[in-house]
């Protein structure tokens, strides 16, 4: 595996899940793979779960880890050719990225959507440049449009908790006070559509995601209807994708908050969220604290999804 960005990159999902469960049982069994290998984690944005879980996964595999926090203000990269670089950008990406590749064997990149330019975000300009110029296998630690380590961890969690072969999984939009990227719902949808699950997305009108990620999902604007019979409820806020509202908050409807009343419509569903979550906006205290909440197991599985991805990259070197 040279790149981990989309669900297709992981290949057969059944094989990936089997490997995840094997890794989870014995997470220190593969240290020969990582000996004298170095992971470079590049963060253009801050991180708690991704930072800790990915570092842990790499150390489980016996790797050395270097973490590079790129302060967006302090280190701006020029991306165009022909520019006289007499402004605030002190280095060109055509030098910076190959240099980073010199000192490691594997690169993880976090670079969020900036919401300045939809095309720039959805073309994944930063991540693609790492793929093209670093000379190393590269994996997404949440990019402008995807967060596949989260989606893979969510899938592992559903497989561990499902009680029927083809559960009903509902991803529902929920209100939030800040404009959030679409990376998590894009990837969750992309991964769910690749399973055989009954997958439904509920969101207000105008809040539909990019169809490249939702192809195969049932999309509805009626949250209550969607929740009926659900086995898993995955709550998430995202800002608008559709023009002319890209990156904007166009809906603050608090009736979409996932509450006990809403959960009562389901088939005693598990509650899921990628975290961090704003309580009593996205979900009420009682739902997230209930025994059916999987938010901590999901987070714990981030170590496992990262370890499978890094293990595969090491194996294919």
Name the binding residues: 47-50, 75, 110, 142, 147-150, 176, 236, 274-275, 278, 302
Residue with smaller CB distance to a second copy, 45 or 245 = 45
Q: Which of 255, 56, 231 is nearest to 160 (CA)?
A: 231
Q: Which positions make up the binding site for carbamoyl phosphate? A: 47-50, 75, 110, 147-150, 274-275, 302
- In whole angstroms, the minimum distance from the beta carbon of 15 to a second copy comes to 25
User: CA–CA separation, 54 vs 243, rounded Å?
Assistant: 35
- In whole angstroms, the minimum distance from the beta carbon of 279 to a second copy comes to 5
Residue with smaller CB distance to a second copy, 202 or 299 = 299
Residue with smaller CB distance to a second copy, 21 or 83 = 83
User: CA–CA separation, 216 vs 194, rounded Å?
Assistant: 9
Residue 248 vs residues 125, 237, 251: alpha-carbon distances, Å: 21, 12, 9
User: CA–CA separation, 79 vs 127, rounded Å?
Assistant: 13
Residue with smaller CB distance to a second copy, 111 or 195 = 111
Residues interacting with a second copy, by CB under 8 A?
A: 28, 36, 38, 40, 46, 48-49, 51-53, 55-56, 59-60, 64, 66, 68, 74-75, 78, 81-87, 90-92, 94-96, 98-100, 102-104, 177, 275-281, 285, 288-289, 295-296, 299-300, 302-303
User: CA–CA separation, 181 vs 237, rounded Å?
Assistant: 9
- In whole angstroms, the minimum distance from the beta carbon of 198 to a second copy comes to 28
User: CA–CA separation, 130 vs 134, rounded Å?
Assistant: 5
Measured between its terminal Cα atoms, the distance across the chain in Å is 9
């Amino acid at each position: 595996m040279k790149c981990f960005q989309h669900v297709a990159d992981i290949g057969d999902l059944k094989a990936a899940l089997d490997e995840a469960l094997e890794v989870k049982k014995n997470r220190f069994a593969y240290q020969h793979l990582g000996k004298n290998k170095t992971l470079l984690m590049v963060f253009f944005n801050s991180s708690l779960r991704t930072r800790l879980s990915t570092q842990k996964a790499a150390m489980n595999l016996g790797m050395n880890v270097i973490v590079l926090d790129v302060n967006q203000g302090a280190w701006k990269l020029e991306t165009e050719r022909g520019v006289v670089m007499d402004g605030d950008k002190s280095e060109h990406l055509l030098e910076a990225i190959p240099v980073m590749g010199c000192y490691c064997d594997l690169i993880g990149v976090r670079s969020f959507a900036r919401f300045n330019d939809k095309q720039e975000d959805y073309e994944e300009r930063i991540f693609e440049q790492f793929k093209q110029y670093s000379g190393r296998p590269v994996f997404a630690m949440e990019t402008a449009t995807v967060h596949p380590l989260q989606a893979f961890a969510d899938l592992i969690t559903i497989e561990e908790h499902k009680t029927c072969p083809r559960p009903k999984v509902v991803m529902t939009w929920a209100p939030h006070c800040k404009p959030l990227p679409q990376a998590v719902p894009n990837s969750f949808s992309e991964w769910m559509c690749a399973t055989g699950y009954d997958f439904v997305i509920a969101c207000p009108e105008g809040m539909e995601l990019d169809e490249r990620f939702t192809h195969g999902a049932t999309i509805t604007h009626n949250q209550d209807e969607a929740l009926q019979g659900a086995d898993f409820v995955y709550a998430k806020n995202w800002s608008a994708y559709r023009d002319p509202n890209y990156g904007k908050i166009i809906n603050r409807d608090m009736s979409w908050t996932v509450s006990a009343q809403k959960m009562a419509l389901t088939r005693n569903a598990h509650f899921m969220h990628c975290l961090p979550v704003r309580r009593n906006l996205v979900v009420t205290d009682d739902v997230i604290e209930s025994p059916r909440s999987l938010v901590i197991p999901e987070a714990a599985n981030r170590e496992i999804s990262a370890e499978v991805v890094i293990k595969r990259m090491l194996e294919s070197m």
